[in-house]
Copies of this chain bind each other. A is one copy, B any other.
Amino acid sequence: MSGRRGRVRLEDVAEVAGVSAKTVSNVIRNYRYVSDATRTKVEAAMAELGYRVNLSARALASNQTGFIALAIPGLDNPYYSRLAGYVIDAAREHDWIVLIEQTGSSEALEKAAVSGAGSQLVDGVILQPDAIGHADLTGRFAHHNLVLIGESGVTASADHVTADAAAAARELVEHLLAQGRSRIATVGIRPQDRPNASELRYRGLSQAVESAGLQVRAEYLIPVSRNRRPDGAEAVDQLLALDEPPDAIICFNDLVGSGVLARLRERGVRVPGDIAVAGFDDNEESRFTYPPLTSVAFDLEAIARRCVQRLLLRAGPDGADQPPVRTVVGHRLVVRGSTVASD
């Protein structure tokens, strides 16, 4: 409550409407058994006084805040800002307000999101677990209403919403093989110690390459620190310095892909003539790069809707008893000029 305004209390409305506070409360919360006459009276009184609930008081009394947290690496990646937008929209439909927590994929901040001070003021948490360990996901202070997003090796007994990253990686490799590429490089964050989204993507790629009877060459796996455009540009320099450069580069997201394309152009390498390039996430930008970037699109809206839906279910009466569910949303390969020459 911000104070100053909002002086009008529920009790005041009750007085004007000539009913009890409880009845006003019933009207506000759309309780079923209120006569139409009473409801109309109360609504008139609310309008007249300009009444609005005090959410702090409601939260204290009802033990529900109406907030959910979305803990993601950062909004500076279009993938996450788009996801955030969808989550906000999906949450609004259930009168939930979204708190965005930027974790930077750091263990400390992911932990804080799940069990920090703020965690006790949200009715649920949606988390992308990049660095956090299993113990912290289920520890003493961990939020009981948790949905995990993205591929990860974390096997906490929590709901999980993700796309099939390994399958997506496989399709991408197969597409490149079909274009006659055989020396496939990858550029992306190297997993630290645990199997997170990046690691699983690596595995999917490796498997696909090997199933084709090709070798996964160590010098073609370029680790970067941040999965951003400048990292992609640097990786290109490393790859072009090799005795036998790759003929295809798979980037772990389109941001890296953007940097890779820019650098290849500067270096005078033709795409896809000399080297094909592809990414993940299907950022809008990728339709406007030169050449347009082939990418794997994930159904972010479905992820968002599903997360909110699970949270809602668990916040309900017997939600805690539900067994954890794993939801896999769709993805599709969007082929563009960076892997297939146009005309």
A57-75 contact mask (Cβ, 8 Å, vs B): 1 or 0 = 1011001110000000011
Does A121 reach chain B (CB closer than 8 Å)?
yes
Does A119 reach chain B (CB closer than 8 Å)?
yes
List, in ascending order, chain B residues with CB within 8 A of A265's CB.
290
B55–A57 touching, CB < 8 Å: no
List, in ascending order, chain B residues with CB within 8 A of A81's CB.
75-76, 78, 81
Does A262 reach chain B (CB closer than 8 Å)?
yes
Does A288 reach chain B (CB closer than 8 Å)?
yes
Distance in angstroms between the alpha carbons of A88 and B109 in the assembled complex: 14
List, in ascending order, chain B residues with CB within 8 A of A2's CB.
63-65, 119-124, 143-145
Q: Contacts A76-B81, A99-B99, A140-B50; is A63 near B1 (CB within 8 Å)?
A: yes
A129-141 contact mask (Cβ, 8 Å, vs B): 1 or 0 = 0000000000011
B65–A75 touching, CB < 8 Å: no
Distance in angstroms between the alpha carbons of A124 and B3 in the assembled complex: 11
Residue of B nearest to A258 (CB): B288
Nearest-Cβ distance from residue A156 to partner chain B, whole angstroms: 16
A63–B3 touching, CB < 8 Å: yes
Other CB < 8 Å A-B pairs besides A1-B59, A98-B100, A229-B288, 8 of them?
A1-B121, A2-B64, A2-B121, A2-B124, A75-B82, A262-B287, A265-B290, A290-B290
Q: Contacts A57-B60, A59-B56; is A1 near B120 (CB within 8 Å)?
A: yes
Which residues in window 1-25 of A have CB below 8 A to B? 1-6
A5–B290 touching, CB < 8 Å: no
**Chain A contact residues, CB within 8 Å of chain B:** 1-6, 50, 52-57, 59-60, 63-65, 74-76, 78, 81-82, 84-85, 88, 97-100, 102, 117-124, 140-141, 143-145, 228-229, 233, 258-259, 261-262, 265, 284-285, 287-290
Residue of B nearest to A143 (CB): B2
List, in ascending order, chain B residues with CB within 8 A of A65's CB.
1-2, 56
List, in ascending order, chain B residues with CB within 8 A of A53's CB.
117
Q: Contacts A85-B76, A288-B262; is A120 near B5 (CB within 8 Å)?
A: yes
List, in ascending order, chain B residues with CB within 8 A of A289's CB.
262, 289-290
Nearest-Cβ distance from residue A45 to partner chain B, whole angstroms: 17
Nearest-Cβ distance from residue A263 to partner chain B, whole angstroms: 9
List, in ascending order, chain B residues with CB within 8 A of A63's CB.
1-3
List, in ascending order, chain B residues with CB within 8 A of A97's CB.
99, 118
Residue of B nearest to A119 (CB): B2
Nearest-Cβ distance from residue A114 to partner chain B, whole angstroms: 12
Residue of B nearest to A115 (CB): B5
Residue of B nearest to A315 (CB): B2
List, in ascending order, chain B residues with CB within 8 A of A118's CB.
55, 97
Nearest-Cβ distance from residue A97 to partner chain B, whole angstroms: 6
Distance in angstroms between the alpha carbons of A56 and B121 in the assembled complex: 7
